[in-house]
Chains A and B, each alone.
Chain A
Amino acid sequence: MAQKIAIDENGYYGDFGGAYIPELLHPNIEELRNSYLDIMTKPDFQEKFKLLLKDYVGRPTPLYLAKKLSEKYGAKIYLKREDLNHTGAHKINNAIGQALVAKELGKKKIIAETGAGQHGVATATACALLGMECTVFMGEKDMERQKPNVERMKILGAKVEPARSGSKTLKDATNEAMRYWINNPEDTHYIIGSVVGPHPYPDMVTRFQSVISEEMMNQLQEHEGKNNPDYVIACVGGGSNAAGAFYHYLNEEDVKLICVEAAGHGVDSGETAATTAKGSDGVLHGSKTLLMQSEDGQVTEPYSISAGLDYPGIGPLHAHLFKSKRGIFKYVTDEQAMQAGVELSKLEGIIPAVESAHALAALSQIDFKASDVVVLNLSGRGDKDLQTYINHGSY
């Protein structure tokens, strides 16, 4: 392959990444940057983290051969069951990892942003577990469409702060969390929920999520007698579940990496979250990446039925995967995703999160060979989306 996919010392993947942050955040980001690798790689930290992943989160998550789905799409399709994690999605891997890092840094308070509420719930959970104070910022619009998760966070003892600026969704929740951090830098750590934000966040979150592909390799070895599948498929909002599922395959040329973005009402409908299709280079939430924006550099309000994918940017790793063509990008509309979600429910008895349903809908866009081994990262379960399924009907 041309260029190894890796992050450089300034936090860049190719052209994307870096830390474009107000000076006010510099001390916090610098502290994190100087210590995250040391902390994360310490044997006793690793031991603590791995033990919690095993006994508390329920890892390793199964790699399940979905026979009927395989039959339908003409390939050997495995589902990586991140939906079976405690709290129902991959987000908990990162939330627990970062909460442990925060403890090492001596921080007592945690803040987080959330879109679908999955990262918020995961963070609230990690904070309850580790005895930390937790505030979650959530767009007012998302609080409405993901009500059960708002209540979950509150039951877990977290404070939920509505973000009322801008489009009142994930992007604005992230802005509010960063502003809060600027105003309360001392004893607070900000747990970003995806592979976005200033360096070192994209790398740190990627590493915490990389347990997904680490397990995949071992499990494929067991099932297939080889580590590498032909395809790994994941949905991309900010990109954390995809980053985790891709991580150990980034430089394995024979593995095709499929990134599925939310097209909303259609890539060209004006109501979309398909960042790579509609975006251009710019700076969002502290990193240089691809984002949807006007000619003037004003960030566009994204749209997707899925609150977790309703984000105008993507992480710098994914921007690089797109530009370098290492990643293959697919776009799935609301309608296609909902149908794919219902299909998996009927075929395999698994109701997926609407985010993950986007990844499923991409199966019909790929020409598989019968011998292809495919791993689809089922990032989360559909409990939180019941109302969305009900509203959509046709099941």
Chain B
Amino acid sequence: MLHRIENIFRQQEKDKLTIYFTAGYPKLDDTQTIIKALNETDTDIIEIGIPYSDPLADGETIQQTSHQALENGMNLNLLFEQLKDLRQITDKPVFLMGYCNNVLKYGTEKFCKQCAEVGVDGLILPDMPILEYQKQFAPYFDKYGLKNVFLITPKTSEERIRAIDELNGGFIYMVSSAATTGGSWQESPEKTAYLQRIKNMKLKTPQMVGFGISDYPALRLVNQFTDGAIVGSAFLRALDPDKLEQSVKDFISLMRSNK
């Protein structure tokens, strides 16, 4: 059987969109509401952020939503509880994004087992080194059928990208430029060259581009070269706590519209 994520990338003709949001934000029990709302939109992959006290790779928006979620009382046991009915709610691939410490402290095997039980497809841990993945994490990821998504940047060497391509990670997370999350994406010759260079490598793992993507033109552009776009901070900024579902749907319509 194909992994849920592999099915997505079979659909060649479509601009693919991944949406990231922070679990437990704006309110503690909004996690399910947002997943349900996203399920009714043209979103391809859902990425759920585990709020962390020290999110090194994140800019102000995700720092702030993480802080708020932790204040709201978000924690891992609660998150897995909120995701208990995940597979009744959506068939879309779901990834959890967090930092290594979340997983290590919870217990790597216990964490992976919980992910598998609720139907999470994989993990994105931006501070996970390849070496540590292979040594400490991979056996559990494999045992529970989880994909690990590695990040690359415009500075990542070709050799390293090839090594990452061999790790069968569901997709490769292409960081758009040297920056923390939430910056602004501006089309530039360097960016296009980066996209083209990766496209030319003909990697077997699909690639999605994230960090700073916030509108339709950017979504369109990266889909011309890669397998999709990831939008996080812009989505979080668009959430309206009073009209949560509507604000989710409005944002996706905007991302998908050519106006």
Tell me the complex Cα distance, A179–B63, Å: 11
A282 near B57 with CB under 8 A, answer no
B104 near A21 with CB under 8 A, answer no
B105 near A18 with CB under 8 A, answer no
Partner of B129, one of A19, A24, A171, A295: A19
CB closest residue in chain B, given A180: B180
Q: Which of A140-148, A233-241, A296-304 contacts B (4 or more CB under 8 A)?
A: A296-304
A296 near B75 with CB under 8 A, answer yes
CB closest residue in chain B, given A29: B129
What's the nearest-Cβ distance from chain B to residue A192, in Å? Answer: 14
Contacts of B54 in A (CB 8 A): 166, 171, 175, 284-285, 299
A22 touching B126 in the complex, CB below 8 Å, given contacts A171-B54, A280-B105, A282-B101: yes
What's the nearest-Cβ distance from chain A to residue B57, in Å? Answer: 4
A182 near B179 with CB under 8 A, answer yes
A297 touching B106 in the complex, CB below 8 Å, given contacts A18-B129, A283-B100: yes
Contacts of B59 in A (CB 8 A): 179
Contacts of B67 in A (CB 8 A): 165-166
> Could you say which interface size class chain A belongs to?
20 to 34
Answer whether residue B95 sits at the interface, using C-beta atoms and an 8 A cutoff.
Answer: no
A281 touching B53 in the complex, CB below 8 Å, given contacts A10-B131, A20-B127, A23-B156: no
What's the nearest-Cβ distance from chain A to residue B56, in Å? Answer: 5
Q: Which of B31-39, B147-155, B198-206, B230-238 contacts A (4 or more CB under 8 A)?
A: B147-155
Report which residue of B52, B70, B77, B127 has the largest number of chain A beta carbons within 10 angstroms of its beta carbon.
B127
Contacts of B251 in A (CB 8 A): none
What's the nearest-Cβ distance from chain B to residue A298, in Å? Answer: 4
A166 near B53 with CB under 8 A, answer yes
Answer whether residue A27 sits at the interface, using C-beta atoms and an 8 A cutoff.
Answer: yes
Tell me the chain B residues, 161-179 only, with Cβ under 8 Å from chain A: 175, 178-179
B179 near A293 with CB under 8 A, answer no
Answer whether residue A183 sits at the interface, using C-beta atoms and an 8 A cutoff.
Answer: yes
Contacts of A162 in B (CB 8 A): none
Answer whether residue B102 sits at the interface, using C-beta atoms and an 8 A cutoff.
Answer: yes
B99 near A283 with CB under 8 A, answer yes
What's the nearest-Cβ distance from chain A to residue B132, in Å? Answer: 6
A297 touching B102 in the complex, CB below 8 Å, given contacts A22-B57, A175-B54: yes
B127 near A22 with CB under 8 A, answer yes
What's the nearest-Cβ distance from chain A to residue B168, in Å? Answer: 17
Contacts of B77 in A (CB 8 A): 296
A23 near B175 with CB under 8 A, answer yes
Answer whether residue A157 sits at the interface, using C-beta atoms and an 8 A cutoff.
Answer: no
Partner of A20, one of B63, B105, B129: B129
Answer whether residue A185 sits at the interface, using C-beta atoms and an 8 A cutoff.
Answer: yes
B132 near A23 with CB under 8 A, answer no
Tell me the complex Cα distance, A306–B53, Å: 22
Tell me the complex Cα distance, A129–B179, Å: 30
What's the nearest-Cβ distance from chain B to residue A22, in Å? Answer: 4
A293 touching B129 in the complex, CB below 8 Å, given contacts A27-B155, A182-B57, A298-B53: no
Answer whether residue B128 sits at the interface, using C-beta atoms and an 8 A cutoff.
Answer: yes
Answer whether residue A178 sits at the interface, using C-beta atoms and an 8 A cutoff.
Answer: yes
A20 touching B128 in the complex, CB below 8 Å, given contacts A182-B180, A297-B105: yes
Contacts of A296 in B (CB 8 A): 75-77, 102, 105-106
A20 touching B100 in the complex, CB below 8 Å, given contacts A183-B178, A283-B127, A297-B105: yes
Contacts of B151 in A (CB 8 A): 22-24
Tell me the complex Cα distance, A63–B131, Å: 44
Report which residue of A19, A22, A182, A280 has the largest number of chain B beta carbons within 10 angstroms of its beta carbon.
A22
Answer whether residue A286 sits at the interface, using C-beta atoms and an 8 A cutoff.
Answer: yes
* Residue interface bits A272-313, CB-to-B below 8 A is 1, else 0: 000000001111111010000111111100000000000000
B126 near A298 with CB under 8 A, answer no
Contacts of B75 in A (CB 8 A): 294-296
What's the nearest-Cβ distance from chain B to residue A341, in Å? Answer: 31
Contacts of B178 in A (CB 8 A): 24, 182-183, 185
A21 near B129 with CB under 8 A, answer yes
The 6 closest A-B pairs by CB, nearest first: A297-B105, A22-B57, A23-B151, A298-B53, A283-B101, A27-B155
Binding site for A on B (CB under 8 A): 52-54, 56-57, 59, 63, 67, 70, 75-77, 99-106, 126-129, 131-132, 150-153, 155-156, 160, 175, 178-180, 183
Having A280-B105, A283-B101, one finds 15 other A-B pairs with CB under 8 Å, namely: A10-B131, A18-B132, A22-B57, A23-B151, A23-B153, A24-B57, A24-B153, A179-B180, A185-B178, A284-B54, A286-B127, A296-B75, A296-B76, A296-B106, A298-B70
